[in-house]
Amino acid sequence: MKNYSKITPEGTKDFLFEECLSTRTVSYILGEVFSQRGFHEVLTPGVEFYDVFSNPAAQIPQENMFKLSDSKGRLMVVRPDSTLPIARMTATRLQNEVLPIRLYYNQRVYRNNRGLTGRSNEVMQTGIELLGISGKRADLEIITTAIEALTRCVPDFRIELGHAGFFKALLNKLPVSDNEREDIHSFIEAKNYSALNSFLDTLEQTKAVAAIRRLPRLFGGEEVLNEASELCDDKDALRPLEYLKEIYDCLTKFGLGERLMIDLGLAQRNDYYSDIVFSGYVEGSGEPVLIGGRYDKLLDIFDSPMPASGFGINVDTLAKVMLSRGQIKMKPLPDVLVHGDDSFEVKSIKHYQALTQSGLICENSVFSTRDEAIAYAKKKGIARIDFVNEEVETVLLN
């Protein structure tokens, strides 16, 4: 049998030194943004019952989930999504909370991405959920929080706005099965426009078909909304466009300029979004670092209907971009290596503690001899060693 003890599973990796520091730094920055805006941190279990994600409204394919069983033989999954567990928690643990409920999280999610296509199976994700309220003010609160979060990390992000209601209204006009609807959604999400057009060619060429065929090109500024309005005359499709224009007009006042775009072909990976949807992109990453939107019907799954919206940020991707740009402040070298001679180990530790309390960055020597400590300090680039005996002897290394 082949031994896999020295490698990590596909879609996962070890994080070392600067990578850990950058991930922790980004999580801290984003957590500060969320808490300053009144959101409270929660943490859900890493393992949940499969039932939390199996409802068709959840729209997470079972083949994308890592499954296992508990001691009673019940089917479990490793957390593939943060929004659904938080919806479960809100419906069961937060029923008596004053609405709206503002929550944020920072935890890993696990998805079995078939073929990977550059995506990791394990992702550190942070985000917010605003539960129990709907309307323009709530949507602006979510989107402007996303803008502030990205602003604190990178200056050159782009926000793309769409509306799930527009896409679904067009789909409802097509004579297709649920599986075919899912295929269309997958084609658009993957930007596989050749497959999309091939499928649409098999249908009667109605206005709705023409509009869906045009979706990938409905990207740009306000003019996109005018073009989309001309493509369809269905009120269920026009109403989302009118609302999207309202949100777009409000957000243009943030001075985002060309960094704010409309993308009516925006198809989120999770199909539980019901209304406004948005994504955030940064230079250096082909995948969106932020995905969010409104999901007003999701809590119906847990018998606790209420409107809700939120977004999630891929911390690993954002940290990688910031690290590559030199935006993460690396941990400095120790100022002092403290080495205690034989029988002076405790005194050495006390001296080390006194130096750190004075503001110096120190490392306590774990070597047996002074020569070993000196050799180590030279290799690490530590410029000063304090040898602790009856007295403290300071040695400066060139």
Give the pLDDT band (50/70/90) at residue 345: very high
User: Hey, where are the domains in the chain?
Assistant: 17-324, 336-396
Give the pLDDT band (50/70/90) at residue 118: low
State the DSSP H helix or E strand holding residue 281, giving kind and residue range, or none if neither: strand 276-282
CA–chain centroid gap for 86, Å, is 15
Provide mean pLDDT across the span 202-214.
Answer: 83
pLDDT for 287 equals 86
Whether the per-residue pLDDT at 215 is higher than 90: the answer is no
CATH homologous superfamily of 17-324 = Bira Bifunctional Protein; Domain 2 (3.30.930.10)
283-317 pLDDT, tens digit per residue, is 888 889 999 999 999 999 999 999 999 999 999 99
Tell me which residue of 252, 40, 26 sits closest to 152, measured CA to CA: 26
Pick the CATH number of 336-396 from 3.40.50.150, 3.30.590.20, 3.40.50.800, 1.10.10.10: 3.40.50.800
Separation between Cα atoms, residue 92 and residue 90, nearest integer Å: 6
Give the pLDDT band (50/70/90) at residue 28: very high
14-18, 143-147, 202-206, 293-297: range with lowest mean pLDDT: 202-206
Q: Which pTM does this prediction carry?
A: 0.90
Separation between Cα atoms, residue 245 and residue 262, nearest integer Å: 9
Phi, psi (degrees; rounded to nearest 5) at 122? -125, 120
The more confident residue out of 175 and 22 is 22
Q: What is the DSSP string of 32-90?
A: HHHHHTT-EE----SEEETHHHHSGGG---GGGS-EEE-TT--EEEE---SHHHHHHHH
pLDDT for 254 equals 83
Provide mean pLDDT across the span 234-253.
Answer: 91
Share of residues in the chain with pLDDT > 70 (%): 97
pLDDT for 107 equals 98
Whether the per-residue pLDDT at 268 is higher than 60: the answer is no
Separation between Cα atoms, residue 244 and residue 148, nearest integer Å: 20
62-66, 129-133, 309-313, 385-389: range with lowest mean pLDDT: 62-66
Separation between Cα atoms, residue 291 and residue 257, nearest integer Å: 20
Separation between Cα atoms, residue 277 and residue 300, nearest integer Å: 19
pLDDT for 394 equals 96
127-173 pLDDT, tens digit per residue, is 999 999 999 999 999 999 999 999 999 989 999 999 988 888 888 88
Q: What is the DSSP string of 36-47?
A: HTT-EE----SE
**151's tokens:** 């602003």
CB 97: neighbour CB atoms within 10 A? 14
Phi, psi (degrees; rounded to nearest 5) at 109? -120, 155
Burial (Cβ within 10 Å: 0-12, 13-18, ≥19) of residue 395? middle
